[in-house]
Amino acid sequence: MSSRKICEAIALCVFFAIGLGKAEAAETIRPDDFPTGFDSRERIPKPDLSAIARLRFLTTVDFPPLNFIDQTGKLAGFHVDLAREICKDLDIVAKCQIQALPFGELRKSLEEDAGEAVMAGMAVTTGLRRDFTFSRPYLRLPARFTVRTAAVPAGGNVADLVQRPIGVVTGSVHEAMLKAYFPTLNPMLFTTQADLQTALTAGKVDAAFGDGLQMAFWIAGPRAENCCRLFDGPYFSEAFLGEGLTIMTGKDEPVISEAIDHALLSLSRSGRLEEIYLRYFPVGIY
């Protein structure tokens, strides 16, 4: 499942039900806890951008909390704020633009030079890598266990879930990951994510395993009825979950690609990347 499809499963009404005010009050995380695609000792020089006429970020309006139309009718979200911070770090604010398009038009627009960068949860595939360049991941999407708050296992780790029914959606990458990484656990299969969440709320399973982002927004929303919390983890696997969220640029724009990676590294080190993350995520996925 692509990064975008995972996030689209989060209902828009849930996002606005929890509100940005609650998102700003999210639990803080230590810088070392925030996973990025950079080595702490790495150096990425800032390229000369004087010849760049403009840097147009292309995104969508239907991918909350990453990009959406806010209550004032303006484009907002994690991706919008991140694009602005990238431009500030590169000292090219006057050259930057952010434009929203339907998701299906993003690739064509980049190919036709109607933009220089796509930031919209585009899943990295072998085919796309042949035609485009991708930045380092700025947000990795982990798998997480979710348990009922009233019955949190005492030990606080996955070993305490052995011989307990663990719900997971059948045929999903998370079912495959659960069986590969935790062969001693007892999976109970559900047809849909909604069925799995209902079973967990009702106590028919002791835990659920799935996408950390989707689980976090469900926990914070009204349908969960304050039943549950994330447990242990996070768990990452590029083989099952992909590389995470990246920025796609044209192969004929190496300077822009290098500049974006430089800015992402800078924002990661300064803590600004984490600040933007905490602004939009009501429950920390890490």
pLDDT in tens, 84-113: 999 999 999 999 999 999 999 999 999 999
75 forms beta bridges with: 69
Q: Are residues 47 and 156 in the same domain?
A: no
Q: Do 90 and 219 share a domain, yes or no? A: no
Which domain CATH number covers 199?
3.40.190.10
Per DSSP, the residues of 264-277 read: HHHHHHHTHHHHHH
Do 218 and 274 reside in the same domain of the chain?
A: no
Q: What are the tens digits of pLDDT across the range 160-198?
A: 999 999 999 999 999 999 999 999 999 999 999 999 999
pTM of the model: 0.82
pLDDT of residue 28: 34
Domain with 272, as residue range(s), is: 3-140+243-280
Residue range 231-268, pLDDT digits in tens: 999 999 999 999 899 999 999 999 999 999 999 999 99
What is d(CA 71, CA 5) in angstroms, rounded to the nearest whole number? Answer: 24
Assess if residue 207 is contained within a domain: yes
Decide if 103 contacts 61 (C-beta within 8 A): no
**Over the chain, what is the mean pLDDT?**
87
- CA quadruple 95, 96, 99, 103: dihedral positive or negative? positive
CA 23 to chain centre: 15
pLDDT at 33: 57
Helix, coil or strand: residue 237 = coil
> What is the pLDDT, as a whole number, of residue 199?
96
Dump pLDDT digits (tens) for 38-61.
776 888 999 999 999 999 999 999
CB-facing half-sphere around the CA of 37: CA atoms within 13 A:
21
- pLDDT score, position 38: 73
| 97 in a structural domain | yes
Contacts of 17-25 spanning 24+ positions with Cβ under 8 A: 17/221, 17/222, 18/217, 18/220, 18/221, 18/282, 20/279, 20/280, 22/220, 22/282, 23/65, 23/278, 23/279, 23/280, 23/281, 23/282, 24/278, 24/279
Q: Which of 224, 240, 256 is the last residue of a domain?
A: 240
